[in-house]
Structure 1
Amino acid sequence: MEEYIINDKLNLFIKNSEMIKEIKGSWQMGMMQYSCVLSSTIKNQSINKLAVEESINVIKENTSMFSNFRGHSMFYLANILSTKSNREEEFKSIKNIYDKLKEKKFINDSYLPFTAIIIHSNKDKMDINTSIEKTKYVYDFMKKHHRWLTSSDDYCRAALIAINSNDLDNDLEYIEKAYEIFNSRGFFKSNNLQSLSHIMALDKDKSAKTIDKVIRIKELLEQEKCKIDGYGYPLIGALALIDYDENKIVEQIVRVSNKLSEVKGFGNWALGKNNRNMLSASIVAASYAQYLNEDSNVDSISSNIFLEIIIAIEIAMMVAIIASTAAAASN
């Protein structure tokens, strides 16, 4: 893959990082600002300050003061709505999905708006009511097999699997198989491992080769002192779905992370090395997704898989950022 694609993506990420600081109230975002920046960047969109602020007003005008839509998800959703011409209609559609999810006994917390966003963004792929039913089916399966690990932070991946699976029962069984294989090969049983195994449902081949690649990427990143810890495991899973040499992918992640470390606000003290490595890996993976999707030599099935990598990256980053924010608050 041409290096200019990654460089362009990195430059846009930096530009968007500066733009988001100009949004009124952006100081409230905390770590969530990086998820907003990444979301725009992987779609090759520039953040529009005025449009985001107008979208924030749309959300506030249509929700109560204590709504979950005014929590972690507000700026992220406002950033998505900023690209729409009918923002209020789009928001009401998302809120309607959110209300339907609550009716299905999904926990009403800060993760639920993100789940509604994912289902809404895939409404042309699957009927909304069907998506909700299948998401509940996937989540109940997860809860049955990992009662103490499964919680609302799994809603997003449950929706992702439900919407994109062609054979839900087989894919769910494969997730459990992947969980056990990873555990037998050095991964501790944990919520992070469960999150990684969920991403394996997107592997069209469901092969040992992909699992080997996950382990190899993790080891290479550690060797290069570009480690991605715990809650970034789903991102490593997404990287393993890219049909390119893992040595080259890791080399590019290291290069992007080193470049990003020189930008104000992205150093080890300001952002933290692990978070920067995750952002760098996301930029590289999104670049490959774009390249392979545009490449006429890639068949349509592969193209669709790589489009879903983008969604996987967003979910991994959202969950990671919310988790780190909650951990910081508790400390």
Structure 2
Amino acid sequence: MVTEKLEKYIDIFNEMNDEIKWCDKKILMMASSVYVIKERAFNINEFVELSEHIKTNAGMFSPLKSNLRFSVASMLDTRFEQPKEVVQILKAYYDKLVEGGFKRGNFTYIAALAMMTDDVETSHLENKIDRALYIYKSMRQEHPFITTNEDYPLAVLLSEREGAVKDVIARIEYFYRELHTSKFRKGNDLQFLSHILSLSKEEEPEVYIKRSIEVLESLKRASIKPKPIHYPEVGLLSLIEHTDIELENTKQLKLKLDSQRHFKWQRELNFKVAVNLSVSESLKGSSLVETGMLTTMEAIMQAQQTAMITGITAATAVSASNNG
């Protein structure tokens, strides 16, 4: 039940918040949601130990000494049986990305995390990195003012799709252009939405565009005023069946989170978490398993979670800079 997911999410967040009181609440919210979506057991002592292991093994000026390590810890802990052993491999991926032309920083670590799969060998990475960098540069060529290092992780995920790079970029641009003509605002959030829709080829682009417009209008009717920051979630909802059910679940989950003491000031992030919980529940036992779409949806949810980490990392970095 989706309500059980919500209760588990709140429980995990409270455990994290009690133990790591000084960490930005948005980071802990995101980390908590990963455990629930992945349906992985959570142990606060192991989580803190893994986070400290990441920090201890990071270089003096590494982004992994910052709060980013908690986001990374949640992703590693839910994807790998021996997460501590994978930390050095994550650093190796990061170094390879830097050698390949990506700039050092938070978003290159998130890109390295996005590039890691269950097979974490570092051999033959050069071709993948070259393709990812080519896609990123092509994105910058199309949108030089809105494409930044924040787009590294999704460029990596897009590079794993089959087809020529020019076709991948053309598909993104088609979504971006058509959605803008349908009341979606131009900007990096619309580019994120275009990326997420581009990851699925189960339907023709026109189908996903129509659904995205319908989701946007349905959210308005449900008294959830969608903002550009919510566009990735609009994309996620537009890719699944029975959208009305997910929208109602999302609304109820968001209302419950908005009423909670720790979450009432994080309404935009509450919407993102609510969508994740609702969609992850709907995928269980779905007909998507038979169609092969489930694997695609898992990749798209990873992209959406990656976008969440990226956005939270960027926002907290700006906040820290302003406070400094």
Which TM-score applies when normalising by structure 2? 0.90
- Which of residues 31, 55, 63 is equivalent to 1:36? 31
CA deviation after TM superposition for structure 1 residue 259, in Å:
2.2
Counterpart of 1:320?
A: 311
Alpha carbons 1:238, 1:312 under 8 Å: kept: no
Counterpart of 2:187?
A: 190
Amino acid at match of 2:278: V
| 1:272-307: CA deviation from partner (whole Å, max 9, x where unpaired) | x22211211121122223342xx5x74252121222
Amino acid at match of 2:225: K
Alpha carbons 2:114, 2:153 under 8 Å: kept: yes
1:313/1:289 CA distance change after superposition, 3 Å: farther
- Which of residues 228, 249, 269 is equivalent to 1:275? 269
Amino acid at match of 1:302: M
Counterpart of 1:55?
A: 50
Counterpart of 1:113?
A: 109
Amino acid at match of 1:241: L
CA deviation after TM superposition for structure 1 residue 228, in Å:
3.4
- Which of residues 220, 223, 247 is equivalent to 1:222? 220
SS for the counterpart of 1:185 is coil
SS for the counterpart of 2:39 is coil
Counterpart of 1:95?
A: 91
CA deviation after TM superposition for structure 1 residue 195, in Å:
1.4
- Which of residues 190, 208, 212 is equivalent to 1:210? 208
Return the alpha-carbon distance in structure 2 between the equivalents of residues 312 and 85 of structure 1.
Answer: 21
The aligned runs of 1:24-173 (5 Å cut-off) are 25-82=20-77, 84=80, 86-121=82-117, 123=119, 128-166=125-163, 168-173=165-170
Identity %: 24
Amino acid at match of 1:73: L
Return the alpha-carbon distance in structure 2 between the equivalents of residues 172 and 207 of structure 1.
Answer: 13
1:96/1:291 CA distance change after superposition, 3 Å: same
CA deviation after TM superposition for structure 1 residue 86, in Å:
3.6
Alpha carbons 1:54, 1:82 under 8 Å: kept: no
Return the alpha-carbon distance in structure 2 between the equivalents of residues 61 and 328 of structure 1.
Answer: 25
Amino acid at match of 1:20: M
CA deviation after TM superposition for structure 1 residue 326, in Å:
4.0
1:180 aligns with 2:174: no
Amino acid at match of 2:313: I
CA deviation after TM superposition for structure 1 residue 75, in Å:
0.7
- Which of residues 1, 4, 10 is equivalent to 1:8? 4
Return the alpha-carbon distance in structure 1 between the equivalents of residues 149 and 305 of structure 2.
Answer: 16
SS for the counterpart of 2:235 is helix
CA deviation after TM superposition for structure 1 residue 226, in Å:
1.7
Alpha carbons 2:68, 2:313 under 8 Å: kept: no
Return the alpha-carbon distance in structure 2 between the equivalents of residues 72 and 305 of structure 1.
Answer: 30
Amino acid at match of 2:284: Q
CA deviation after TM superposition for structure 1 residue 169, in Å:
3.2
User: Is there any run of 5+ residues in structure 1 with no aligned partner, and where?
Assistant: none
Return the alpha-carbon distance in structure 2 between the equivalents of residues 131 and 144 of structure 1.
Answer: 20
Which TM-score applies when normalising by structure 1? 0.88
Counterpart of 1:20?
A: 16
Residues paired across the two proteins, number: 319
Alpha carbons 2:71, 2:309 under 8 Å: kept: no
1:124/1:229 CA distance change after superposition, 3 Å: same
SS for the counterpart of 1:27 is coil
SS for the counterpart of 2:223 is coil
Alpha carbons 2:189, 2:228 under 8 Å: kept: yes
CA deviation after TM superposition for structure 1 residue 7, in Å:
2.0
1:123/1:229 CA distance change after superposition, 3 Å: farther
Return the alpha-carbon distance in structure 2 between the equivalents of residues 114 and 255 of structure 1.
Answer: 31
Alpha carbons 1:235, 1:312 under 8 Å: kept: no
- Deviates further, 72-81 or 278-287: 72-81
- Deviates further, 98-107 or 118-127: 118-127
The aligned runs of 1:275-314 (5 Å cut-off) are 275-292=269-286, 295=287, 298-314=289-305
SS for the counterpart of 1:46 is coil
Return the alpha-carbon distance in structure 2 between the equivalents of residues 66 and 326 of structure 1.
Answer: 15
- Which of residues 234, 237, 245 is equivalent to 1:236? 234
CA deviation after TM superposition for structure 1 residue 327, in Å:
4.8
1:191/1:120 CA distance change after superposition, 3 Å: same
Amino acid at match of 1:37: S
